[in-house]
Amino acid sequence: MSEKLSSSEALSAARDEFVTQWGAIGSAWGINRTMAQIHALLITSPRALTTDEVMEELKISRGNAHGNLRELVAWGLVRSVVRKGERKEYFEAEKEVWKMFCTIINERRRREIKPAMEVLAECAQRAKGARGAEADAFIRQIRALGDFLSMADNVLSKVASSRESSVLPLALKFLK
Amino acid sequence: MSEKLSSSEALSAARDEFVTQWGAIGSAWGINRTMAQIHALLITSPRALTTDEVMEELKISRGNAHGNLRELVAWGLVRSVVRKGERKEYFEAEKEVWKMFCTIINERRRREIKPAMEVLAECAQRAKGARGAEADAFIRQIRALGDFLSMADNVLSKVASSRESSVLPLALKFLK
DNA sequence: GTTATTTTTCATAAAATACTGAAAATACCA
DNA sequence: TGGTATTTTCAGTATTTTATGAAAAATAAC
């Protein structure tokens, strides 16, 4: 046992490690573990994979693989490709990190920030009818939250539509 | 029914709405619903509250209230205060939005970004033994992810330790 | 020390979420 | 039209997360 690993064994061990650990990290980030694993698998795969290959690699059911692949496609992190003359659907991930980042930012803006802003607007509206010091404080607090989110959303939208090369040097320079 | 609400009724209705909805938003953000509700309650409360008051307001059990209050304290979003001459523990939230934001950023850096960086470093290490084009691609991908996270962590740490007034105008100006 | 109040812990219950396996639907081909 | 490969759906099950409530521990007052 414990012979020195061959080069390709070392690679696939490292890759398995990455897939497993990325799944765990995903959980901590509030992302479905399996979805994170599939994503890890795809961004480190030299070629597009089929549902069956994903099932095989991760030892998961068809339904599970299918659903999570669809989710990844819905997020825009993975696209399905059809090879001419073949009927199987292949999946490949966007590998460029900055693009991945922008996609995630935009999806989270859409799914998380926007609804929160709507809720705050709604609450501010409702509170209009109230008078007094306590009501004023409440309204101010809600408004502060709303203004912050709106600002953050704005910044994120700008960042997510920039090229990496134009944002990072700037960020690092000015945040000395 | 459906008489016009008095001012204070309007306020507490708006506040209930906020607490409920903020809980829902929290879920979408991957945060325990009850924890988000308690937080919403505290940031809109004109005074510090006891565990029993939180239980009463949200109709939740002592264990639930207790655990989630502890979590909020662990996050640094809520602090417990003891009033002299009283033995009860009171809880109050940081209300200033920018401070809240910085606290959350730093906690997420610590809990989410750091571990991910460690995982990537570990994987990069392991992959060292592998040779060939595929191995090179893997190593490059892992490194790209690591570099990105490290950079993001850096930017966030700078942002989270700035004053609001010094960051926002800058961000908005340069991200035109 | 005894009692009263408040906090903490923990086993269990309930709810939410994710996964499986198999059937149904769809697309393609001869 | 029937046959085969592939994708999609979904009811049932398993797992994980969150909440409960009661009991134990800690703390303060007497």
Give the number of other CB atoms < 10 A from CB of residue A37: 23
Whole-number percent of chain A with pLDDT over 70: 95
A62 touches strand D (CB under 7 A): yes
Report the phi/psi class of residue B14: left, alpha or beta, with left for phi > 0 and alpha for psi in -120 to 50.
alpha
Mean pLDDT of A41-46: 97
Quote the mean pLDDT of chain A: 92
Question: What is the C-alpha separation between B47 and B38, in angstroms, rounded?
Answer: 14
A34 touches strand C (CB under 7 A): yes
- What confidence tier does B8 reach under pLDDT thresholds 50, 70, 90? confident
Tens digits of residue pLDDT in B89-143: 999 999 999 999 999 999 999 999 999 999 999 999 999 888 899 999 999 999 9
Mean pLDDT of A113-118: 96
- What confidence tier does B172 reach under pLDDT thresholds 50, 70, 90? confident
* pLDDT score of A4: 64
> Global pTM?
0.92
- What confidence tier does A149 reach under pLDDT thresholds 50, 70, 90? very high
Nearest CA in chain B to A16: B123
CB contact at 8 A, B47 and B58: no
Tens digits of residue pLDDT in B137-167: 999 999 999 999 999 999 999 999 999 888 8
* pLDDT score of B85: 85
User: Between residues 55 and 94 of chain B, which touch chain A (CB distance below 8 Å)?
Assistant: none
CA distances from B164 to A138, B16, B96, B97 (A): 21, 29, 11, 10
Nearest CA in chain A to B146: A97
Tens digits of residue pLDDT in B45-91: 999 999 999 999 999 999 999 999 999 999 999 999 998 889 899 99
- What confidence tier does A94 reach under pLDDT thresholds 50, 70, 90? very high
Residues 84-103 of B with CB under 7 A from strand C: 87-89
Helix (H, G, I), strand (E, B) or coil at A89: strand
Give residues with Cβ within 8 angstroms of B57, minimum separation 6: B19, B41, B49
**A161 close contact with B: CB closer than 8 A:** no
Q: Does the structure show a pLDDT above 80 at B174?
A: no
Give the number of other CB atoms < 10 A from CB of residue B176: 5
Structure tokens at A114: 């926007």
User: Between residues 3 and 32 of chain A, which touch chain B (CB distance below 8 Å)?
Assistant: 5, 7-8, 10-11, 13-15, 17-18, 21-22, 24-25, 28-31
A33 touches strand C (CB under 7 A): yes
Q: Does the structure show a pLDDT above 90 at A140?
A: yes
Question: What is the C-alpha separation between A155 and A106, in angstroms, rounded?
Answer: 11
* pLDDT score of B176: 62
Structure tokens at B6: 């008095």
Q: Residue B88, class by beta-carbon neighbours within 10 Å (0-12 exposed, 13-18 middle, 19+ buried)?
A: exposed
